[in-house]
Amino acid sequence: MKILITGGKGMLGGTLQREFSDCEVVVADLPECDITDPAGFERFLAAARPDAVIHCAAMTAVDRCESEPELAWRLNAFGSGVVAAACRRQAVRLIAISTDYVFSGDLDRPYHEFDTPGARTVYGITKFAGEEQVRRFCPEHLICRISWLYGGNGPSFVHTMLKLADSGPEVLKVVSDQIGNPTSTNAVARQLRLLLARPELNGTFHLTCEGEASWYEFACEIFRQAGVTRRVEPCTTAEFPRPAPRPANSRLEKRMLRWCGLPPMPDWHDALAEFMRERRA
Ligand SMILES: NC(=O)c1ccc[n+]([C@@H]2O[C@H](COP(=O)([O-])OP(=O)(O)OC[C@H]3O[C@@H](n4cnc5c(N)ncnc54)[C@H](OP(=O)(O)O)[C@@H]3O)[C@@H](O)[C@H]2O)c1
């Protein structure tokens, strides 16, 4: 099997390279490959001739998307259309990675795959537009939504907390009124492998770890597992205003995994423990 990974040098791309090390992997990232260059991407894909594309490339800096919206539209929406159209023309299976930010976060239960999106940020709006490009230009696709991601060398919330543990203030204040599913790149990569082994599957899947936490609870567990003694205090979103409002509820229900008979995602505590073990090694 030959896999092409757009954004392959990024956080998830790095883990995918390792997870698929028994396959032939082609990294499609800047500067060699630009997903916003239609002719260039078409040529790159034709030369690589992969069996599947995992499309990770995106503008992921959520606050920067607010200040540079044209670049966010270009990468997240237009770029996804370029990748999708090329995959369709060259009959390559496409897995596009998306996000919980496509939802408003207002619901009082986890979002399932058939809930109506309602993004509130430039990042979420442009990522949903990217999903729609994939649905329109490449009907044979998988769209996999993930959230609260960490892995490899980051950057992520876990990496930030571990850095603050070494050099941060005496008392750390962490937001406790946003909840989600902390999710490791390892867990996502393994589930993508299982999805790729099922050529009959199509559509939108949620792929976050099982169990939920607030950022505050997540921080406490990171320090507990890292063996760090650090005072952490809960605070509200209102105390930490950000350019892009964060969804209060980022929890995703994995209905499609269940219906398609795929194994559940691991519990987030176990996935974090695996990350910590790898980090120590
Ligand atoms: N990180 C999270 O918490 C999170 C949560 C939910 C969903 N996701 C989604 O998961 C996917 C992977 O996220 P990630 O955290 O691994 O992202 P990342 O670390 O930011 O990696 C994205 C990669 O894409 C590259 N890229 C940017 N513009 C490109 C272009 N025009 N052509 C080709 N490559 C380009 C980036 O290069 P440069 O670094 O040079 O720009 C980077 O190497 C994204 O689709 C993201 O929306 C992430």
Tell me, what's the pLDDT at 223?
A: 96
C-beta of 10 in contact with ligand 1 (< 6 A): yes
C-beta of 19 in contact with ligand 1 (< 6 A): no
The CATH fold of domain 2-153+183-210+252-266: Rossmann fold (3.40.50)
Rounded CA-CA distance 66/56 in Å is 20
Q: Name the residue at shortest CA distance from atom 12 of ligand 1.
A: 56
Query: 249 C-alpha to center of ligand 1: Å?
Result: 22
Q: What are 64-109's pLDDT values in tens digits?
A: 999 999 999 999 999 999 999 999 999 999 999 999 999 999 999 9
Tell me, what's the pLDDT at 166?
A: 83
C-beta of 94 in contact with ligand 1 (< 6 A): no
Query: 227 C-alpha to center of ligand 1: Å?
Result: 31
Q: What are 102-135's pLDDT values in tens digits?
A: 999 999 999 999 999 999 999 999 999 999 999 9
Contact 41, 91 (CB under 8 A): no
Dihedral-angle region of residue 199 (phi above 0 means left; psi in -120 to 50 means alpha; beta otherwise): alpha
Q: Active-site positions?
A: 123
Query: Who contacts 75 (Cβ-Cβ below 8 Å, separation ≥6)?
Result: 35, 36, 57, 58, 59, 126
C-beta of 135 in contact with ligand 1 (< 6 A): no
Rounded CA-CA distance 182/52 in Å is 27
Its pTM stands at 0.98
Dihedral-angle region of residue 255 (phi above 0 means left; psi in -120 to 50 means alpha; beta otherwise): alpha
